[in-house]
Chains A and B, each alone.
Chain A
Amino acid sequence: VSQSSPNTPAMGVRISVDPEGRELLLLSFAPHLRGRPGFLHGGAIAGLLSLACDHAIRKETGSSGATPPRCLTSSFQFLRGGREQDVHALATVQRGRAISTVSAAAWQNSESKPVAVLTRKYLMG
């Protein structure tokens, strides 16, 4: 799944493409992602959202050797508890010359009912 330290189960985030051709991130539910009983840990959702933003800004700027944009600030809004199910996330980039803004939403059953959203600012180049 990942090359992080061997004793640590990574979240296991995959890229999936939805019927409209959008690239989503998919976090499959697993028991080690539990928070309080019956719920997905808010930190796992936050991790997925930050991955989605980082992935989107890197895709936007290309992987051309230069230092990748550096994340300056994060603002997470938690809207509802995440259930013990898979979570999807989609990020969109508002590119600026010096600073770019990336927003991501995470949802489970319905995209119109996000469980959490994240806005990040990145310093370009």
Chain B
Amino acid sequence: MLSPETGPIAVIGGTGALGGGIARRLLRARLEVILGSRDAARASAAAAQLTEEIGSPARGTDNLSAARDADIVVVAVPFASQSATLTELAPVVEGKIVIDTTVPLIPPRVTRVQLPPEGSAAGVAQKILGGRARQVFAFHNVSAKKLAGEGPVDCDVLVFSDDKGARELTIDLANACGLRGVDGGALVNSAAAEALTSVLIWINKTYAVEGAGIRITGLRPPSELNMSRDERRHDSQRDAPEASSVDRAGFDPARFCRRFLSQGYNGSLQLRYVSNGDDCVVLAAPSQPELLETNDEMVADGALITLLDMTGTLAVWTRLGRFRPHATLDLRIDHLAAIPPDTEISSSAECYHLTQRIAYVRGQASTGDGTLIAMLAATYAFTDQP
């Protein structure tokens, strides 16, 4: 499952049209991206431009370094370079998820299906990486031009892999890019989507359009499709009284806190997990007056605000049952009492309303003896739908 723990994503061929488009959308979803190219300088320049444009930091380097430094590797190179690229990357992608977008287009007859002797580009890749990496094929049918734009892309992303976890993560990534990922089953099925690309190029020419795409019909609406499997299962059992919170827990705040609250500013404030329910979370932190260097009076409450914001953030993911990138839109805080020094503050927050784009949270902070210190109303905007 996609989460902030998801390490950097390398986009090999990141200076190309498809790779650049994917990188751009991953960055907009606030994921960490490393652009890879045969020419490290070109990758650096492209990364600098994306950073400037999107305001989310990307870096660029050669293909091998990019793949080595990443947890997930997206391969977006032409069919003619696929074998050489994968052979080069093989030593550094051991155990990693490798999402390959290669389609066997053989110029000049790109409007004709020409699958290679291995059966598909996926077959070629499997021969090279076989068993070393968690191989996925996806993004075959998506128009690079539309992906590079800001608007929605009217195309589903079929995702193929023999590794179920890798398929699910890739579907999350496609959704984070503002597309809709659809589970297409085993890697061998990739041949169908690869072949379809030649058909789409033919359609583009015949109807004089740019970027014809595919839609899988008969599925549930995107709001349900984008839910985690656990949440869907819970949804279908809505009336079953014994559906426990564990059942829907695709997102485990306790586990998340163990990994994530010890890092960065959260760690320096010593936030800790206390408990959670279906749509609420309780955290605690020592009260820590923040002082101005020239002033020894207690003047600010950054720790309290961070504690409330983090509690709200976790309440959203807990209710959602999965991690989904979001940004705090606004925080409204009523300060009911001063923060006593040297005490522990506990903060609880409930995500009481959720839409496709916005999560609404209310919460409060109190001292150990139950004195209310602050009330919170917050909104968060999901950032994975451009």
Contacts and interface: CB of A to CB of B under 8 A. Distances in A.
Contacts of B329: 77-78
Interface stretch (B62-70, B135-143, B196-204, B295-303): B295-303
A73 interface: yes
Given A51-B290, A55-B299, A81-B327, A43 B30 contact: no
Contact of A15 (B292, B334, B335, B338): B292
The range of chain B's interface size is 35 or more
B333 interface: yes
A39 to B, nearest CB: 8
B56 interface: yes
Contacts of A75: 330-333
A46 B56 contact: no
B380 to A, nearest CB: 10
Contacts of B303: 43, 47
Given A2-B290, A51-B299, A73 B264 contact: no
Nearest to B265: A41
A33 B265 contact: yes
Contact of A81 (B55, B309, B338): B55
Contacts of A44: 265, 302, 306
Chain A interface mostly helix, strand, loop or mixed? Answer: mixed
Given A46-B331, A74-B331, A74-B333, A41 B264 contact: yes
A78 B327 CA distance: 8
A4 interface: yes
Interface string B258-272: 000001111111100
Contact of A46 (B289, B291, B302, B342): B302
Contact of A78 (B4, B328, B332): B328
A83 B56 CA distance: 8
Interface of B: 4, 8, 30, 32, 55-57, 263-270, 286, 288-297, 299-303, 305-307, 309-310, 327-335, 338, 342
28 contacts: A1-B293, A3-B291, A4-B289, A8-B269, A14-B293, A15-B294, A25-B292, A32-B268, A33-B265, A34-B265, A35-B265, A36-B4, A36-B30, A37-B8, A37-B32, A41-B264, A47-B303, A50-B305, A51-B290, A55-B292, A55-B295, A55-B299, A70-B335, A73-B334, A76-B331, A76-B332, A78-B330, A84-B57
Given A36-B30, A47-B305, A76-B305, 9 more contacts: A31-B264, A33-B264, A37-B8, A43-B266, A46-B309, A51-B290, A74-B305, A81-B55, A83-B57
Interface of A: 1-5, 8-15, 25, 31-39, 41-44, 46-48, 50-51, 54-55, 58, 68, 70-78, 80-81, 83-84
